[in-house]
Amino acid sequence: MAETTDVLFVDGVRTPFGRAGDKGIYWNTRADDLAVKTIVGLLERNPSLPKERVDDVAIAATTQQGDQGLTLGRTAAILAGLPTTVPGFAIDRMCAGGMTAVTTTGSGIAFGQYDVVIAGGVEHMGHHPMGQGVDPNPRFLTEKLVDPAALNMGNTAERLHDRFPDLTKERSDRFGMRSQQKVAAAYAEGNIQSDLIPVSYRTETGWGLATEDQGMRPETTMEGLAALKTPFRPHGRVTAGNASPLTDGATAALLTSSRAAKEFGLSPKMRMVSFGFAGVEPEVMGIGPIPSTERALKNAGLSIDDIGLFELNEAFAVQVLSFLDHFGMDDDDPRVNLWGGAIAIGHPLAASGVRLMTQLARQFEQHPEVRYGLTAMCVGLGQGGSVVWENPHHAKYGK
């Protein structure tokens, strides 16, 4: 019987994220090429790892069609120059696709069936708008299994405001403004650029090189946010300023066993401690990270007070605020999203989970006093996903 082994997050990279649509930098770029770019970049950053020693490649996408179809993990691996002996697969858990790629392949490492894996996600929301081409089973609606509003993520965010009156529009706007400010500060301090893989792109005016995220708005003010339209209902509270924009981008992570890390001289940036996924009412999918985090903490034998750094995906500000309120944390808790989040950076659905991990890994390096961190996100159709990580730079790591 195979013995369990540590699951190590060795490295993570991503493309700069671009705005979705014909004004976005990746409008003329294929989705699978974005995924390939991250895999190539990841391997170039870890040259001591023989390509043939990669045991599997898992790439997530929410809309698996067109240039996001054809078993992305396999096709991207071949296109990235991995030997044909390296298998691959595609995976979908909507927004938590990349996160699930990591926990699924990581479980294979823990069980002793893998030594080295690449896991990530890609979403080209310009080419493949969320929900494009899907055919929901009529029973969802005719048997009232799901409210029609649950199929629109903006409506579910408005439902959170309805359910929790303390989650005001002003709080959401302020959180959105702070996200923009924190991302700008992180760029100014050089905290984000080191894990970005530059991408060449072509527009009507010629070729360019993407080296930073396209959607940042550091000039955001509360006055400007207050004047934005509420597209999901008249006089609503969810706006473009307190929600993540539609985004294109890709991510990839390198995970190994302790044995492989030692063999190839790789230094781990994090150790996976536990994970949890949970389901909630689809109509209020934003609260999903609450039960998934409770499950992950229980699996780890930890409490929320043991977590020293949080990377929470900002699909909507109200979604993060509901998490903070539940766990008794302040809106501006210094442990949460140190470098901002998806409201400023963007949320290319299946890619985002690995972005959270990559940022947490960098923060661990700067904060050896922190032992445990959490990456968590809400997921469409009423789910949440959470992963607890341990900091190898902490004095108690491995003890």
Catalytic residues: 95, 347, 378
Cβ-based neighbour number of residue 174 at 10 Å: 18
Is the CB of residue 278 less than 8 Å from the CB of residue 384? yes
- Strand pairing category for 372-379 and 116-124: unpaired
- Look up residue 238 and give its DSSP letter: -
Is the CB of residue 341 less than 8 Å from the CB of residue 360? no
- Look up residue 134 and give its DSSP letter: -
Outline where the chain has alpha helix (H): 31-45, 72-79, 97-110, 139-142, 153-163, 169-188, 222-226, 258-264, 289-300, 317-326, 342-345, 352-366
The upper half-sphere exposure of residue 41, i.e. CA atoms within 13 Å in the direction of its Cβ, equals 23
117: tokens are: 């894996």
Distance CA 15, CA 107 (A): 26
231: tokens are: 């597209």
Torsion of CA 60, 73, 75, 33, to 10 degrees: 50
Is the CB of residue 263 less than 8 Å from the CB of residue 381? no
Tell me which amino acid residue 399 is: K
